[in-house]
Amino acid sequence: MSSQGGIKTSAVLDPEHIQQGLILIKSKVQVLLIFKEVWTKLKIASPALAWGGAIMLFASLITLGLSVFDPRLFQGVSVWHKPWKFQISTVLYWWSLAWFISYFGKTEQFSLSRRFIVWMSLLAGLFEVVYISWQGAFGLASHYNISSPFYGAMYTAMAVFAVLLTSTSGVLGYRVLRDHSQTYATSEALRHAIGWGLIISSVLGIVTGAILGGRTNSGGHWVGGTTNDALGLMVLNWSRDGGDLRVAHFFALHAMQILPVMAMLFICLTPNMSPNTSKRFIWLLAAGYAGFCIFTLKQALSGTPFLG
């Protein structure tokens, strides 16, 4: 350390510090390159879903900022918390669809099923988020709100669009499982994980959503316990002293992301396993995951918290 003009300077040219700085810069560059590669793949697969997700992500940042500065509460948490959660969930849904669509062959890029997946998911997802955010802005309920004919009609419309939105993952999952040309993934096991994850998200997402939506006069998503999100788990707000049907709905909807990630970890850990054996394991994994979702649904209906 030296002193010049009364100001002390550290040994910035120390080789160890330089090496650590270079490693940090290199890691940041690698992360940026990965993000660039992923973004490029999403844009090529579906520009509409890619840019729709980017715009929704930007909107979620604004909503998150509003939750910090707006003191109003709804059911114990910020009026902006629910809109923010739905915006983030929609980003994940759109970008996941785009990622899996990227495995389509060139002849499938303009097929009717692909157009349904892209445009229906965008239309339905946008309707859900806009209405939920609009209601949140005024401190009003979006779900279970049938206090007027208009709100009752909008709640019905939300249910219809939610089914249409979730059905897009089922259509894509069916296409993935029917494609034996290996265009969806470099691994047969991964292809099945993607396909079954999408189908579980669609089927169980609709089932759990229907059970949730049908409880307008039965306590909503709470089954016993305190009807206040402030006392729930952080961020997710799941009840800690009673059943909460949002748990099963969450795990069902995110099967399309969770199963492929679990499959990739399994494939990395078992590089010498035969393709047929790996595929059968994925079937068991998918069945076990679906069983877990059903378990959390029964747990909630019994009034038992997922995590006390």
Domain that holds residue 286: 19-301
Helix (H) or strand (E) holding 233: none
Question: Is residue 8 in a domain?
Answer: no
pLDDT at residue number 32? 84
The residue type at 131: Y
> Which of 141, 143, 137 has the alpha carbon at shortest distance from 155?
143
135 — pLDDT class (breaks 50, 70, 90) = very high
How many Cα atoms sit within 13 Å of 109 on the Cβ side?
A: 9
Q: Does 182 map to a domain?
A: yes
Q: Is residue 111 part of a domain?
A: yes
Looking at per-residue confidence, does 105 or 128 come out higher? 128
- Confirm whether 131 is domain-assigned: yes
Question: Is 203 inside a domain boundary?
Answer: yes
Q: What is the pLDDT of residue 169?
A: 97
At 15-72, the pLDDT tens digits run: 777 777 777 777 777 778 888 888 998 998 899 999 999 999 999 999 999 999 999 9
pTM of the shown model: 0.89
In b/e form, how buried is each residue of 188-223, taking b as 16+ CB within 10 angstroms?
bbbbbbbbbbbbbbbbbbbbbbebbbebeeebbbbb
239 token code pair: 């009840």
Q: Is the dihedral of CA 257, 86, 122, 169 positive or negative?
A: positive
Looking at residue 121, its pLDDT comes to 97
Domain count for the chain: 1
- Does some domain include residue 148? yes
Given this model, what pLDDT does residue 2 score? 46
pLDDT score of 24: 74
* C-alpha–C-alpha distance, residues 283 and 269, integer Å: 17
Distance, in Å, from the CA atom of 116 to the CA atom of 258, rounded to the nearest integer, reads 24
pLDDT tens digits, one per residue of 227-283: 889 888 988 999 999 999 999 999 999 999 999 999 999 988 988 888 889 999 999
For residue 87, tell me if it sits in a domain. yes
Please tell me the predicted confidence (pLDDT) of residue 3: 47
Is residue 12, in this structure, part of any structural domain at all?
A: no
Give the pLDDT band (50/70/90) at residue 1.
very low
